[in-house]
Structure 1
Amino acid sequence: MVRNHIIKSLITLKKPDSIIAEQFETIRTNLEFSAFETKAKAILITSPTRNEGKTLAVTNLAFSFAKQGKSVLLIDTDVRKGKLHEIFKLKNDVGLTNILIGQVSYREAIIRTHSSKVDVLTSGPVPSNTERLFSSDAMVEFIEKVKAIYDYVIFDSLPILEGADTKTIASRCDGVIMVVRNGKTERELAIEAKAVVDVVKANMIGVIFNGKSKSLFS
């Protein structure tokens, strides 16, 4: 069942005229052009390591799209340290993992935010084998179902260098965006993360440089 929840403060909502909000608008516009060219609807946003601003980018991009009338589903695939349920003040007892093992339907697990255009799916309980679950036919079928409903499906993942889960999901999405933080992300790790994306044959469509005077998408 879909329920209404109030989200914590977001830059794109609370300070729409700020420089940071304008940068997210620029990123959103560039992403729309890139997605149009590549026909990308299911987009995974990741980073080389933690604390790079990945989840901040995920949530603000979603509401930037919503302001333009686009419907967005945010999905948390970090089953151990995911943050979407905390940001949206949600329980995480039912989520993506429950859908994939057939316990609930996606319509029962998806939760609506106070924006009618942004829905959220939390990660759900930690399964015994996440890699097998995310590489299953059920995951592929689920992605195709929600792509048919939403304009964009955005996955918030664990860092791509931390395990196999993100690599598996990246290979099933239409595109990957890498978030790196100025002054934090080591160059070697960023290069390694890009190499991993190439190895799993995922489509890298952009990089967000967090903490710069201008956020870039290229």
Structure 2
Amino acid sequence: MFKKKQKLIKLARKLVTSSDPKSIVSEQFRTVRANIKFAMKDKQLCTLLFTSASIGEGKSTVAANIAITFAQEGKKVLLVDADLRKPTMHYTFKTLISPGLTNLLMSQWHIDDVVTESGTKGLDLVTCGPIPSNPAELLGSTSMDVFIEAMKVRYELVIFDAPPVLSVADAQILSDKCDATILVISSGTTEKGNAVKAKEALQAAKAHLIGTVLNNFKLEKGHYSYQYYGEDM
């Protein structure tokens, strides 16, 4: 569980851990990395999912930066854009959306055809691919199970960026397949009731929810930050 609060400046999809690794913000992401490892110290962490209660809450930015910090630590990491409805990782890493995950799941492409380099040593990327008409079915498919197991052999950590919990069932479906889940919510935007509903939905899906990220929290001096809490906050 995340027992300690850490503050991070709002990033708007910026890969600060890559562009400015010595910054205070990057150091805070490394602290979050340490807390994730601490939360999973008694269990093996091979797959980690990031989701949110609603859209626009920063889950993709957090997922990308955390993936980079694990790679900077020396781990072999794969970041997967599993938001098959509104993918963003191809924008974040300035690459093509296709070929990607849906090519692999629908057309039986080879894994090597959809995995690309991220620009950060140790971190590979799988973008969304062509947006499908049946995202939930693809994420819950046997092909997805095969993909996850194959990636766990190739990588020390696989991180998934999933759609918001309250919008569609995708995150619930995928969270059940992952070792740990982190929920991202936005201060001043997400209603408390929706945050609770998102947490309950993940728990109903048997997700191992290890922490919550509260971002867009306005400090007295006008800065914005991320704050990290344990599930039992």
Deviations 1:52-107 (A, max 9, x none): 11111011101111111011111111122110001111111211111112431111
- Segments of structure 1 that go 5 or more residues without pairing to the other structure are 1-7
Partner of 1:178: 183
Kindly provide the CA deviation profile for residues 160-180 of structure 1, in whole angstroms up to 9, marking residues without a partner as x.
111111111111111110011
Other-structure match for 2:146: 141
Summarize the alignment of residues 45-56 of structure 1 with structure 2, pairs less than 5 Å apart.
45-56=50-61
Q: Match for 1:167: what amino acid?
A: Q
Cα distance in 2, alignment partners of residues 149 and 54 from structure 1: 25
Inter-CA distance 20–116: structure 2 relative to 1 (3 Å threshold):
closer
Post-superposition offset of 1:215: 2.6
Counterpart-to-counterpart distance in 2, 1:58 and 1:119: 13
Match of 1:30 among 22, 35, 38: 35
- Among 196, 215, 218, the alignment partner of 2:227 is 215
Residue of structure 2 equivalent to 1:41:
46
User: In structure 1, what is the equivalent of residue 137 of structure 2?
Assistant: 132
Percent identity (aligned): 37
Matched AA of 2:82: T
Change over 3 Å in CA distance of 1:9–1:160 after alignment to 2: closer
**Which residue among 95, 99, 116 is the counterpart of 2:104?**
99
Number of equivalent positions = 211
Residue type of the alignment partner of 2:131: V
Is the CA contact (8 Å cut-off) linking 1:30 and 1:217 kept in structure 2?
A: no
* 1:53-92 superposed matches below 5 A: 53-92=58-97
Provide the aligned C-alpha RMSD in A: 1.6
CA distance in 1, matches of 2:192, 2:34: 27
Q: Which runs of 5+ in 2 are unaligned?
A: 1-12, 218-224
Q: Following TM superposition, by how much is the alpha carbon of 1:134 offset from its aligned partner in structure 2, in angstroms?
A: 1.2
Q: Is the 8 A contact 1:23 1:214 kept in 2?
A: no
Q: TM-score, normalised by structure 2?
A: 0.85
Q: TM-score, normalised by structure 1?
A: 0.90
Q: What secondary structure sits across from 2:84 in the alignment?
A: coil
| CA shift for structure 1 position 149 | 1.3
Following superposition, which runs of at least 4 residues in structure 1 exceed 6 angstroms of deviation? none
* 1:181-208 C-alpha deviation (Å, 9 max, x unpaired): 2222211111000000011111111112
Mapped to 2, the partners of 1:186 and 1:215 lie a distance apart of 17
Where does residue 211 of structure 2 map in the other structure?
A: 206
Cα 1:214–1:129 shift into 2, 3 Å: closer
Distance 1:11 1:44, change over 3 A: same
